[in-house]
Amino acid sequence: MIEKKDKKQGYHHGNLAESLLNAVDDLASRFGIESVTLRGCAKLVGVSPSSAFRHYTDKRALMTAFATRALHQLSARMTAAREKAIAAGENPFHAVGLAYVEFALDKPAFFRAMWHEEAIYSNDPEYVDAANALSDHLHGGFADTIDDHDPGELSAQELLAWSAVHGLASLFVDGPVGRGKPKAERMARAEEMLRGLQGAF
């Protein structure tokens, strides 16, 4: 939840930088990434633009931090899905793929921002580290759910798996597939695709 300014006691927050990123999510989810401005986020949080500029020098810096957080969150969600599936004796490949698609459905602004390089500083060290970590996660046997004979390269199977889940997620978020359908129905379609995909391995 975004914390607001208390007019009597001043602004109270645990971390203004994180609150501004929450504001990005709010604005981007409602109006699109292009609508986000640093001043708009500052207004939504309830602080002056000068306070926001002390954390992020411009919109690109703000969006870079937002994309970095998205990459970390997707990696964490996939890892958690794999571990939960293994503990429950379920199919970890399906769990990881579904986690990827569900992340896009639950957090479309994060999903769009991750690779939106024209809107961020793509050479920012923290962004590069996060992007590399997710890439390693995905070409490391698709989060360790399929055989990985060369951890340093994307195999054909790993590339197929990543392309499939990312493509379906993109079609759900910005394309015609499942438009207007409830989340449960779209996730069911994702599971059908993953069953067919694993049969190709």
Q: What percent of the chain has pLDDT over 70?
A: 90
Q: What's the CATH number where 167 sits? A: 1.10.357.10
Q: What does R_g of the chain's alpha carbons equal in angstroms? A: 19
Q: For residue 5, what is the enclosing H or E element? A: strand 5-6
Q: pTM of the full predicted structure?
A: 0.84
User: Which comes out higher in pLDDT, residue 161 or 11?
Assistant: 161
Same domain, 11 and 107: no
Same domain, 19 and 88: no
Same domain, 1 and 50: yes
Range of the domain at 155: 59-198
Looking at the structure of the chain, the number of domains it has is 2
pLDDT band at 201 (very low <50, low <70, confident <90, very high): low
Same domain, 44 and 89: no
CA distances (Å), origin 156, targets 64, 91, 146:
30, 21, 11
What is the C-alpha to C-alpha distance for residues 72 and 134, in angstroms, rounded to an integer?
Answer: 7
Res 74 pLDDT > 90: yes
What is the C-alpha to C-alpha distance for residues 100 and 138, in angstroms, rounded to an integer?
Answer: 11
Q: What's the CATH number where 49 sits? A: 1.10.10
Res 10 pLDDT > 50: no
Same domain, 26 and 66: no
> How confident is the prediction for the chain on average, in pLDDT?
86
Same domain, 14 and 78: no
What is the C-alpha to C-alpha distance for residues 146 and 194, in angstroms, rounded to an integer?
Answer: 13
Same domain, 172 and 94: yes
